[in-house]
Amino acid sequence: MLKIVNLEAGYGPMQVLWKISLNAEEGNVTALLGPNGAGKSTTLMSTLGSIKPWGGEIYFEGKDVTTLPSHKKVEMGMTLVPEGRHVFPNLTVRENILMGAYTKRASKLMKESLDLIYTLFPILKERPGQKAGTLSGGQQQMLTIARSLMTRPKFLMLDEPSQGLAPKLVGEVFETIQKVQSDMGLTVLLVEQNVDITLEVAKYVYILHEGTIKAEGTSDTIKHSEDVRVAYLGI
């Protein structure tokens, strides 16, 4: 569904990504694991087009989308939940969700999407009028994911959804991600530093270090590869 070939990107004079290539297969969860500063967020942002790739190609459903602006990519069915749980704290849960319906396609489907989202996120359905800023960290993460689903994506990129959450909440957020993925038939590209949970939910994993892909394989292969674990995962 998504294919990245020799992607290069950076900021000002500083190159961050050095010809990275990866595939996210339709209907699967694919993950990109790596430590702080490896270039994970840069990969997602250049894939969506919020930063401009320096080189390489990005294909979405077989079409070359490398230079398309991000709003076009969102219209085509791509979306990104950025790092850091950005909710509008003074707006209610319902208002936050509806903020996601900004595209033409999304606004047409707004009512139907809201019902679907409430089914997938019962915790949000219970408190539509609550100010988002007063939700717990896990609930805010659910809310940012829910909001991104209002664009009715086919391809969802998630940037460190487990960041800063207590272990129990990490489990809840990931269960929801898996449910959303299977119920909506989504293709997911997940960026994480949490190795254990990633190897549990992803089918295929890429390991990014200092802007290059150092290893890749099915989660089972990576789990059982002592070399990879010792060299890159610290487990």
Ligand X SMILES: Nc1ncnc2c1ncn2[C@@H]1O[C@H](COP(=O)(O)OP(=O)(O)OP(=O)(O)O)[C@@H](O)[C@H]1O
Name the residues that contact ligand X, by CB under 6 A.
Answer: 11, 16, 34, 36-42, 83, 193
Which CB sits closer to ligand X, 114 or 173?
173
Site for Mg ion in 59-88 (CB under 5 A): 83
176 binds, among Mg ion, ligand X, none (CB under 5 to 8 A by kind): none
Closest CB 107 distance from Mg ion, rounded Å = 30
Closest CB 33 distance from Mg ion, rounded Å = 12
34 binds, among Mg ion, ligand X, none (CB under 5 to 8 A by kind): ligand X
> Does 30 engage in binding with Mg ion (CB under 5 A)?
no
Task: Report the distance separating Cα 100 and Cα 144, nearest Å.
Answer: 9
Closest CB 208 distance from Mg ion, rounded Å = 10
Which CB sits closer to ligand X, 40 or 154?
40
Which CB sits closer to ligand X, 210 or 220?
210
- Contacts for 197-202: CB closer than 8 Å, 24+ residues apart: 197/162, 197/170, 197/171, 198/31, 198/33, 199/223, 200/174, 201/29, 201/31, 201/174, 201/177, 202/28, 202/29, 202/30, 202/31
Buried b (16+ CB within 10 A) or exposed e, 174-199: bebbeebbeeeebbbbbbbebbebbb
Task: Report the distance separating Cα 158 and Cα 34, nearest Å.
Answer: 14
Q: Which of 30, 41, 176, 187 binds Mg ion (CB under 5 A)?
A: 41
Strands 14-24 and 2-11: antiparallel
Closest CB 25 distance from ligand X, rounded Å = 22
16 binds, among Mg ion, ligand X, none (CB under 5 to 8 A by kind): ligand X
Which CB sits closer to Mg ion, 117 or 188?
188
Judged by DSSP in three states, 135 sits in: coil
Which CB sits closer to ligand X, 27 or 82?
82
Q: Which DSSP helix (H) or strand (E) runs through 6?
A: strand 2-11
Task: Report the distance separating Cα 206 and Cα 50, nearest Å.
Answer: 22
Contact footprint for Mg ion (CB under 5 A): 40-41, 83
